[in-house]
Structure 1
Amino acid sequence: MANTIEVINPVHNPNQIKIGDRTVAFMQSQTKLDEDSKDIIIEEAIKILSHCTIPGRKGHITNIAVGYVQSGKTLSFTTLTALAADNGYRMVIYLTGTKNNLQSQTSERLRNDLKTDEGDDYIIVDTNESIFAVDDIYNILETGPEVLLFPILKHHLHINRLADIFSAPTLVTKVKQCGVLIIDDEADQSSFNTYARKNASKPEWEEDDFSRTYSSILNLKKSLPSHSYIQYTATPQAAFLIDSNDILSPTYHTVLTPGKGYTGGKFFFKNQDLQLISIIPDTEVYHYKENPLTSVPDSLSRALQEFLISVAIVVLIQKREKYLSMMIHVDGRCDTNIKFATWAQCTKQNWINALGGPADDFGTQIVRDSFKPAYNSITKYMTDIPSFDEVMGTLIRAMVRTKVHLVQSKGGTVAEQGISWESEKGHILVGADMLNRGFTIEHLSMSYMPRTTKGKSNADTIEQRCRFFGYKLNYIDICRVYLSTKSLIEYNDYVDHEENLRAKLNQYESLAEFSKHSNAMLLADTLNPTRSNILSSKLVRSKLSGWKQMISLDCYQENKQRIHDLLKSMDGKFKNCPDYDGNIIRNHRFAYVQVDEFIDFFKHISYGDVPNITRRNITIQYLIHLRDSMNIKYVRLYEISYQAKKLDDLR
């Protein structure tokens, strides 16, 4: 597998980026935004684009946009798409997520927001459908003004298929001339090499296992001589902690501003006016081995009652919203999801049956009275409160018009196209991974989340489960979140970390400056920053011993010039190695080079395969360690058999 040349070309001057017809048209379509909000979104899109490779210039760059969970990152990269189209970029690729529902969600939003079916500005290309994709792409790039949009699944088969299309002989020359953006939505999920720790004890990188998505992204980058790779995420810990020389490590960053009315971590966990968090007792925190509950826990019953009363009041009586949603997120096991979905459905049906009995029936009265605490709780912050009797008069209809969805790949009830939100008054979604990062649960008001870990949780993982963040001020009075005590502590600590991180990022232009001056990646002892399998360890002992020839035929000319420039700068500094016994093949020479000078040189030596890329990065990482911890100032550089051929030929 080959990689693009690792040269960062001059980026845009922000003042030269124009706001053209496509950007203006898109902003005008966002009728819910005020002018100040539109200005901020455009300003941040200009900043991102100013750090991108100029269309047609050979090279690539990686940047990152950091937002909040559920804060409008899709709006940001759609604005960036329109702005890129106004500034000469012809193709935008979206790595939409690892689940089909995320790809469908992103494709639909692009189709609606950019009006791809109505004009001549954009074409969404489905590379899965057409066997003539190469011809279709070539014809548009050659003759039309349209910008090609490629929303694809973040899966190695889909990414490699697109890389193969761009590598087709018909397209190679045309692609070189194009400005291309690769937008990696939820970039910290699946994109990085997740086998770094596993590989650490293997003696050779050729034996390593490189995660297939990571390898396919490198393959895609190799197929695009001029491109910019933009990571979008609310949890950038992984991107900041991987080695700075990794191809997916960002150079520049942009902190995205949430829109007005956003309710995020600070609102839910640091709010002194609204107490929106309820605690799930430890005895009711489900674990399939250690606490396999055999009946519906009281906290789940209470959450269901509060949610159904919310539907009755907000949707049926007050008509503030067309529908509301509830999320039940327990663990990643299919059998667990089925159990909780069954509990939710059966509990709801039992209440329907009981409340449908005669008003003077003792059993009916007991069930009716059981809803009073939920009614009192859910109306605590409400104005114009309907009476308990009025609510109970509509509650059966609210329950009948509330549907339980099992959201998982095996045996789930949610079709590929997603949920028809407006078809019901209430939705109860039960699932795990498919309800994680990237997936938007419309009008989510109730979250029941007993999922936790015995040890430290990963900060980025738990944060991405916060589907309850978003723009909810219209019904924030009935929003509730049920968590374990451990999770509540972790989320409070994460909010402190997140706000500190964003403040520090805003102080520096590049991540190099941020890394040099900031300690914002520090976390409370309750959390790990990210999953450990992307972080390397035990590399020096196992892999940085002995000699290794590192050949790069893919990048031969570029590397030859860099080596020539280095040797020329060292004229007069070399010393011959003694005792070569007249054998010119053994006639070597060496010179001392400052560590920083050599690191700068080695960073720009390009390799066309993952093992050598990794070997180079880890070597640099170790040299930095030696420089900083052991005060090593020089490396000894050898030129092997320097007289075996004419010097110019060697160089």
Structure 2
Amino acid sequence: MTDVLLEIHAQVLRGMGNRPRRFEDWAALTASEDFPDADLSEETFWDRLLADAESGGELTAAWSKALTAWDYDEQAAWTQEAPRTQARRAAAYDRLQFGDDLRKALTAAVPVAELPGPVVIATEHTPWYTPERAAARSFYWKAYEQKLRDKGWSDAAIASLDEASRAVVERLTDPEQPERRQAKGLVVGYVQSGKTANFTGVTAKAVDAGYRLVIVLGGTLNLLRAQTQRRLDMELIGQENILRGADPRDPDSLVGVDYIGDDDDWPDFVQHHGRPSELQAFDIERLTTRDRDYMSLAQGIRALEFEKRVPASPLYAPANLHHAAARVMVVKKNKSVLTKLVKDLKQIHGLLGELPALIIDDESDQASVNTSDPKKWEQGSPERTAINGLLSQVLGLLPRAQYVGYTATPFANVFVDPGDTADIFPNDFLISLPRPQGYMGVQEFHDLDSPVPPEERTVANSQAKAHVRGIWDGEDDRLQEAMDGFVLSGAVKLYRADHGVADGPFRHHTMLVHQSVRKDHHAELALRLNSMWHQAGYASSEGHVRLAALWESDFKQVSDARAADLPNPGTYDDLRPYISRARQLITKGGNPVIIVNGDSDKYFEQLGLDFDRTPNVWKILVGGTKLSRGFTVEGLTVTYYRRMTRQADTLMQMGRWFGFRPGYQDLVRLYIGRQEPMTKTSTGDLYEAFEAICRDEELFRAELKQYSDLVDGKPQVVPAEVPPLVAQHLPWIKPSARNKMFNAELVEIRSPGKAIEPSVYPESADALTRNTERWRPLLQTFTEEPVTFGPADGHRAFSALTSRVSHGELLAVLRQLEWARAGHFEPHLHYLAQLDGRLATVDDWLLIAPQLIASDRAVAPILGSVPLSLVRRTRQSGKPSFSRIAGVDHSALASWLIATAADSPSDGQPSAGTITIGPRTGVALLYPVVEAKKDSEVAAAITRGQADPSKVVMAFTLIPPKSANGPGKRLVRFRTRSTYDTTSAIVDASGA
């Protein structure tokens, strides 16, 4: 029986396409032809939505797909409202002309995904990848999109991928254009966050648009390369292109065809329902297979010969391009493999100059970056490391090649010399992908700027309490506890699978132990783990007593607080039957422990760790470097991690515990090396190191976001100006290896409405005294009676002394200050100096000196001022920087004041008690800081009732008004150093 309402709505939504229109008219027109008696009232639609809400009906699914597509459309010509906002959704409803009740029902059924989109830093480009052109040729993209739906991807996730992959493709060169041009870009994701999905989407759209050679650089091991090959084969290339006419029912015709017969997932490979070339599309020919890397062109040079429909026209002419088969190869980043590729390309004459090609470099900061010391190069003659040199040769041989690097740790790539046009610096674009929903990253293991005091944190409101277990020096190393947690979490997964949770995410269950790079240490650790396992007594009453105690004290509490919507055992007795099954799965095939530290592909083949082809991997993995880059540990639930490194990108790549944990986020545990503050050495605290690099990376992404908006239609920042945005929060954790870092100088930072918080204060008593003396004129202006501020934005109220000073008075002090590192404050000072009317006008500043509320607080006058609270802060180990100055509540209130004043009339409005500020008033938080380990030590800085100026750091945080940027709204200005005087990515035709 025909579902009339569904049929009408489906036809209407297909007809509307990429823009909503008046639904009543379109529905009536559709119904008049086939269903003249259909009930098209909003009430009927509303009733159906309510019924669908319980059954997940097809009508809701159809509207979900359409509404989400309209929500996400960055190129929408039918509205000016920003994507992924309630305003954009309202604009769609307005065009549909739906009533309030139907709007509410639809929004309840299909909530607006108010998520950030990709951030693009790019040079100007000629738009070519229009919605119309993308829609006209979308054979492989539609196949990939449907595959993702079949895998359970939500409409919002697919729309987000659609948007992010489009952002990459539109920055490439038009494959049909006559001029030869190479574009080079970098896509920055998160560790284990779905970068492969993005470049698969980019590949689909690129080949649809006309790119006819795709080279994917897929890791440094055959295992990693094969995983990438299989992913592309399964989700994009599809069965028909793999079979190439072979009959899957005839064994004789399947000789040499991979997957059939030895891959249980073959039925799930994309099916195009016919050879694409017979469906008015084009075939994809694989030049590599799952088991075979690039050896040499399979049919010699003929493999890259393209038949032209119009022989007199070049390959890139549309009449030829869109009828030619695409070639795809997934190549290992290996010297011998790439050397063979270069050799073969050199033998092809003429065609390469016409061939639109795409090079995708997965983990592009590994092996691809040139680490040769520029100081040792001969003038004008760069020396290149092996992989970098071969990659440069490939780019030189393919003048129409586009290079797109993918990485989660971009610092090495942005430090490449931007003037070396033969290298891989992303001169044309840098795209930061949004953080996906359901992803567990550093933020899920750290309480970054949490307003909850440490003593009030619980497993419900603290990420660290829920997921992190410290391994403190000198105490129990908790290895047995971690192993017990591995068994318990495996049992919970089995329990959930038996109680209605899809067991797909529980196919693999792993524990990772990583505390050394030395192979002899791995062997010793594996032996210890095996011994511990056999002595753990998981089938004995003693073992169950221990497991029950850990369940009650840890897992039960976290699961009750964070996974109440999932089936959880009420008592350990409910879980106990699943312990035995978990133990059996872990010991299946022999020992529970696998060492992963080999250098050869053959070694990895023997391990049985191909997560794609192995039904169930339930093991404890011990290793070092091989587990820290590109190797995805599926089902990772418990991590025991103690290895330190001094490079931020290397450390972040070791975070194998990052990723998607559907159905078991609450079970994830990180056992990580810790050190007491008093005993920290130069190697530092591992947990603190991860928090620091998290702040570095999030600051980098925030800076990219801030400077991504166009000003007068032009980019504020181009990729060559990105290096100075890289931050460093800990002295012993560098952004990248020293031989990968390019130097660039930041001249000016404009911070309208943003906090400026310098941290590198001098340490000598004389310098501190001089700085405090310079603040004297302003200290003497503070009121005697405190003012109460807040609460604001969920943060608590506090009291403070206040003062008003002119912009000139504050600037006079700031100009005289000394710093521990020369030039530290210069980019900010350069900006502030222009707020006297040249760039913008700041009338005055509200100085706020927060008062502490502790009963034992230290209060004292400073150089004759009213009594001020002395604040305790500590410097970072081995560095003159303080990790934080302003209190969370204080900075939140100050930001709220600035934001409120920006929309207030020029004469100001009450913002906090009797305090008023206008839109041209800045806020300065002032802290007399005493460097001390304990609060009780602060009082030692008070002598004869006065604070000792030689022991006080006059620290501050400034927030200029939002208006303090001038009409140009340009936020940064750089001076970069480049070894070559060129910025163009244009390749001279004669250079091919």
TM score, norm. by length of structure 1 = 0.72
Corresponding residue SS for 2:358: strand
**Pick aligned residue for 1:18 from 121, 134, 138:** 134
- 1:20-39 paired onto structure 2 within 5 Å: 20-31=138-149, 32-39=152-159
Picking from 338, 360, 365, the partner of 2:523 is 338
Q: CA–CA distance in 1 between the matches of 2:382 and 2:143? A: 49
> What's 2:665 paired with?
476
Equivalent residue, structure 2, for 1:531 = 737
2:583 aligned partner = 399
Q: Secondary structure at the match of 2:130?
A: helix
2:376 is equivalent to residue 187 of structure 1: no
CA contact (8 A) 1:263 1:471 kept: yes
Q: Shift of the alpha carbon at 1:607? A: 11
Distance 1:203 1:83 in 2: 40
Q: Which amino acid aligns with 1:47?
A: A
> Are residue 309 (structure 1) and residue 506 (structure 2) matched?
no
Distance 1:374 1:73, change over 3 A: same
CA distance in 2, matches of 1:382, 1:38: 29
The secondary structure found in structure 2 opposite 1:182 is: strand
Where does residue 204 of structure 1 map in the other structure?
A: 378
142-151 vs 235-244, which moves further: 142-151
Tell me if 1:491 matches 2:690: yes
| Cα deviation 1:579-624 (Å, max 9, x = unaligned) | xxxxxxxxxxxxxxxx99x99965569999xxxxxxxxxxxxxxxx
Task: State which of 621, 628, 649 in structure 2 corresponds to 1:460.
Answer: 649
The correspondence for 1:85, drawn from 204, 207, 213, is: 207
The separation in 1 between residues aligned to 2:538 and 2:722, in whole angstroms, is 63
How far apart are the structure 1 equivalents of 2:295 and 2:607? 17
- Mark the structure with the bigger radius of gyration: 2
Out of 372, 395, 402, the position equivalent to 1:228 is: 402
- Superposed CA RMSD in Å reads 3.2
The alpha-carbon deviation at position 195 of structure 1 amounts to 2.5
The match for 2:546 is 370
Q: 1:258 aligns with which of 435, 445, 448?
A: 435
Amino acid at match of 1:310: S
**Cα separation, 1, equivalents of 2:606 and 2:433:** 33
Out of 100-109 and 14-23, give the one that drifted further.
14-23
How far did residue 396 of structure 1 move?
3.6
Matched, 1:213 2:384: no
Instruction: Give 2:619's aligned residue.
Output: 427
Match of 1:587 in 2: none
Mapping of residues 122-161 of structure 1, within 5 Å: 122-126=284-288, 128-129=294-295, 132-139=298-305, 145-161=324-340
Alignment TM-score, normalising by the size of structure 2:
0.48
> How do 1:616-627 and structure 2 match up within 5 A?
none
Cα distance in 1, alignment partners of residues 722 and 226 from structure 2: 41
Q: Tell me how far 1:254 sits from its aligned partner.
A: 1.3
Q: For residue 355 of structure 1, report the CA deviation from its aligned partner.
A: 4.5
* Contact kept? 2:594, 2:619, Cα under 8 Å: yes
- Offset from partner CA, 1:333-358 (integer Å, 9 cap, x none): 2222222222222322233xx444xx
Q: CA deviation at 1:87?
A: 0.5
The answer to which of 133-142 and 435-444 deviates more is: 133-142
2:700 partner letter: L
On the 8 A contact 2:469/2:672 being kept in 1, the answer is: yes
2:395 and 2:660 map into 1 onto residues whose CA distance is: 35
Alpha-carbon distance between aligned partners in 1 of 2:143 and 2:638, rounded to the nearest angstrom: 36
> Cα offset for 1:430?
1.6
Stretches of structure 1 lacking an aligned partner (at least 5 in a row): 1-7, 285-296, 357-363, 538-594, 609-651
Choose between structure 1 and 2: higher helix proportion. 1
Check 1:413–1:349 CA distance in 2 against 1; reply closer, same or farther (3 A cut).
farther
Q: Quote the Cα distance in structure 2 between the aligned partners of 1:207 and 1:506.
A: 36
Following TM superposition, by how much is the alpha carbon of 1:300 offset from its aligned partner in structure 2, in angstroms? Answer: 1.4
254-263 vs 89-98, which moves further: 254-263
Give the aligned partner of residue 388 of structure 1: 572
Cα distance change of structure 1 residues 114 and 366 upon mapping to structure 2, 3 Å threshold:
same
Q: What amino acid sits opposite 1:189 in the alignment?
A: Q
Aligned counterpart, 1:244 = 418
CA deviations on 1:160-179 (whole Å, 9 max, x unpaired) are 211222221xx332222121
Give the percent of matched residue pairs that are identical in Structure 1 and Structure 2: 24
Paired letter, 1:165:
D
Q: 3-state DSSP class of the match of 1:332?
A: coil
Residues 477-556 of structure 1 aligned to structure 2 (within 5 Å):
477-485=666-674, 486-509=685-708, 512-513=717-718, 516=721, 520-526=725-731, 527-535=733-741
Contact 1:68/1:234 (<8 A) preserved: yes
Instruction: Report the Cα offset of residue 100 of structure 1.
Output: 2.0
Mark the CA change 1:507 to 1:350 in structure 2 (over 3 Å): closer, same or farther: same
Aligned to 2:839: none
SS at the partner of 2:558?
A: coil
Distance in 2 between the 1:600 and 1:158 partners? Answer: 30
Gap runs ≥5 in structure 2: 1-122, 242-275, 277-282, 310-322, 449-460, 561-567, 587-591, 675-684, 709-714, 744-974
* Residue pair 1:406, 1:414 contacting (<8 A) in 2 also: no
Change (3 A) 1:38 1:132: closer
User: Do 2:287 and 2:297's aligned partners in 1 also have CA atoms closer than 8 Å?
Assistant: no
Note if contact 1:348-1:399 (Cα within 8 Å) is conserved in structure 2: no
Aligned to 2:853: none
Deviation at 1:39?
1.9
- Give the secondary-structure state (helix, strand or coil) at the position aligned to 2:193: coil
Structure 2 CA distance for partners of 1:18 and 1:536, relative to 1, 3 Å:
closer
Aligned equivalents of 1:276, 1:423: Cα separation in 2: 28
Q: What is the alpha-carbon distance in structure 2 between the residues aligned to residue 347 and residue 600 of structure 1? A: 59
**C-alpha separation between the residues in 2 aligned to 1:423 and 1:517?**
44
Q: 1:206 to 1:87 in 2, by over 3 A?
A: closer
Structure 1 range deviating more: 274-283 or 528-537: 528-537
> Bigger relative contact order, structure 1 or 2, given CA contacts below 8 A and separation 6+?
1
User: Residues 371, 72 of structure 1: CA spacing in aligned structure 2 closer, same or farther, 3 A cutoff?
Assistant: same
The equivalent of 1:117 in structure 2 is: 239
Shift of 1:203: 7.1
